Structures are given as structure tokens and as C-alpha cells.
């Protein structure tokens, strides 16, 4: 079963094409990386997958349901889109509690402690978010995404603002989740991390998916960084499943 299926997905804003005829399949249980330079359309694509942005044409099917999905399916999705933001006057725990009650299926408060533990914020969970560093906010964003023990995780640049220790912890966490069967769709500029955590990669450029395959397929005989730079610098013409 496919966790995510995008069919001829396009988004045009003020006459400018942001996402252009994207066909993408994220198999269930896989860790799928979306790579691309800034402005390639990764975030808009993720927003359409999550139902935050309406496609101009095409459709998205997530966990077997066309977007917008039902509340029950939505409860199986965790996400961070761009930099995570919180209510600064509340504590981290209170923020998670609010997120928990915003959803269709509120879970027990033990979910909050479990999510905080996963991102190593248990001790600072009682502090107001306005006192948090960017890295702590990013980890709290991850806790928000993990709150409902999701079967699909959509993470837009989750390593932003994390220090090397945080990045290593994120890598461990993603590998652990992948082993547990969680489907992960992640966009990142940390190519080395992507190589270690993801089993499929798609590279976007100017709103299109120009290259897709396993990490070894994509990089070929060069490094992923070299392949990425070469791909985004010129029009795609060759490669494993070049489009």
C-alpha cells in the first residue's frame, strides 16, 4: 500500500507555477527524502499533502484517502512544516496539551510525557516556550509531530536549528521510527543525514521532480552532494528514473 500518492499535482500562485505536474509515490513503511534547492516547491508539495494548501490541479491520496482526509486518518499523521511555532506564553507541556485537544482523537496525557521524552525535553517541559532556544523549539516541534504515535510523519527540514548532538539524536529517532514501520517523508538540506536515514530520494527543481530512486541509484558513481548539485544546476536528462 502507498502511504502517499500524488497524481499530476500542480499549484499555481499568481500565474507562477510552484509545483508542476508532480507524480510521486511514497510506499508505506519507507523513509522518503525530498531534496531540492530553496524555492523548488518542496514545502508547497508537503502542504498540499497535508491539506493546508489546495492544489490547482491533480490530487493527493494519503493513507488510502483523498485529501482532505477524514479526522480518523488525520490522527495518524504527524507533521512539522517549516519552522515550528508555539504559543510563547504557555509551557511546552501546555502547548502539547493544546495540540492534543485540537486533534480529532485526544489521547491520554501520558502521550505528552512520551513525546517530550523522545525529544529529550522532559526536564524543560515546564518552562515557557518563549525561553526556549531555536533548537529546543525544533525539538518541541518534533514532539508535536510524534504526539499521536503517527503512522505517517511529514517533516519539513526537521534538522533546522539543531546542533550536531540534536542532529545525531534526530537521525537515531528517524531510524528507530522507520524500523517500527512509520512512513517518513522528510525534506532536508542535510544530504549526509538523508543518505543515512532514507531509503528513497526525490530531487525537485522548479516545481518538478527531476530525479527519483534509492540513494545508491540517485548518486550513481558520485557522491550524493555532487549528484544533487549537478541535478539542480541543469535540466534533468539522465539518471535512474529521471523525468
Shortest separation between residue 52's beta carbon and another protein, angstroms: 4
Residue with Cβ nearer another protein (33 or 46)? 46
What is the distance between the alpha carbons of residues 121 and 191, in angstroms, rounded to a whole number?
26
What is the distance between the alpha carbons of residues 108 and 101, in angstroms, rounded to a whole number?
10
Query: Do the bridges between strand 16-27 and strand 31-35 make them parallel or antiparallel, or are there none, so unpaired?
Result: unpaired
Strand partners, 33: 186, 201
Shortest separation between residue 88's beta carbon and another protein, angstroms: 8
Pick the binder of another protein from 19, 22, 24, 50 (CB under 8 A).
50
Pick the binder of another protein from 10, 118, 138, 144 (CB under 8 A).
144
User: What is the per-residue binding string for another protein in 52-71, x denoting contact by CB under 8 A?
Assistant: xxx-------------xx-x
What torsion do the CA atoms of 42, 45, 50, 55 make, to the nearest 10 degrees? 160
- Count of C-beta atoms within a 10 Å radius of residue 147: 21
Shortest separation between residue 143's beta carbon and another protein, angstroms: 12
Residue 137's H or E segment, with its range, is helix 134-146
Query: Interface with another protein includes 16 (CB under 8 A)?
Result: no
Instruction: Tell me the window of 98-106, 117-125, 180-188, 232-240 that interacts with another protein (CB under 8 A).
Output: 98-106
**Residue 21 to residues 51, 158, 181, Cα–Cα distance (Å):** 17, 26, 29
Contacts with another protein, residue ranges (CB under 8 A):
47, 50-54, 68-69, 71, 74, 77, 79, 81-90, 94, 97-99, 101-104, 106, 144
Amino acid at each position: 500500500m502507498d502511504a502517499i500518492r500524488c497524481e499530476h499535482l500542480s499549484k499555481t500562485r499568481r500565474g507562477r507555477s510552484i509545483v508542476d505536474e508532480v507524480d510521486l509515490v511514497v510506499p508505506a513503511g519507507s523513509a522518503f527524502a525530498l531534496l531540492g534547492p530553496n524555492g523548488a516547491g518542496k514545502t508547497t508539495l508537503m502542504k498540499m499533502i497535508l491539506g493546508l494548501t489546495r492544489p490547482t490541479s491533480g490530487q493527493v491520496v494519503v493513507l488510502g484517502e483523498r485529501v482532505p482526509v477524514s479526522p480518523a486518518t488525520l490522527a495518524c499523521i504527524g507533521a512539522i512544516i517549516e519552522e515550528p511555532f508555539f504559543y510563547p506564553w504557555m509551557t511546552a507541556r501546555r502547548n502539547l496539551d493544546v495540540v492534543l485537544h485540537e486533534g480529532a482523537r485526544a489521547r491520554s496525557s501520558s502521550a505528552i510525557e512520551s513525546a517530550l521524552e523522545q525529544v529529550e525535553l522532559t526536564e524543560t517541559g515546564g518552562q515557557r516556550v518563549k525561553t526556549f532556544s531555536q533548537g529546543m523549539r525544533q525539538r518541541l516541534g518534533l514532539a508535536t509531530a510524534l504526539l499521536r504515535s503517527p503512522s505517517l510523519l511529514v517533516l519539513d527540514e526537521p534538522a533546522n536549528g539543531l546542533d550536531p548532538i540534536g542532529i545525531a539524536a534526530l537521525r537515531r529517532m528517524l531510524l528507530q521510527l522507520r524500523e517500527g514501520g512509520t512512513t517518513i517523508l522528510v525534506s532536508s538540506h542535510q544530504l549526509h543525514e538523508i543518505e543515512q536515514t532514507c531509503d528513497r530520494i526525490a530531487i525537485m527543481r522548479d516545481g518538478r521532480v527531476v530525479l527519483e530512486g534509492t540513494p545508491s541509484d540517485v548518486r550513481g558513481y558520485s557522491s550524493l552532494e555532487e549528484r544533487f548539485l549537478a541535478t539542480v544546476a541543469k535540466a534533468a536528462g539522465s539518471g535512474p528514473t529521471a523525468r
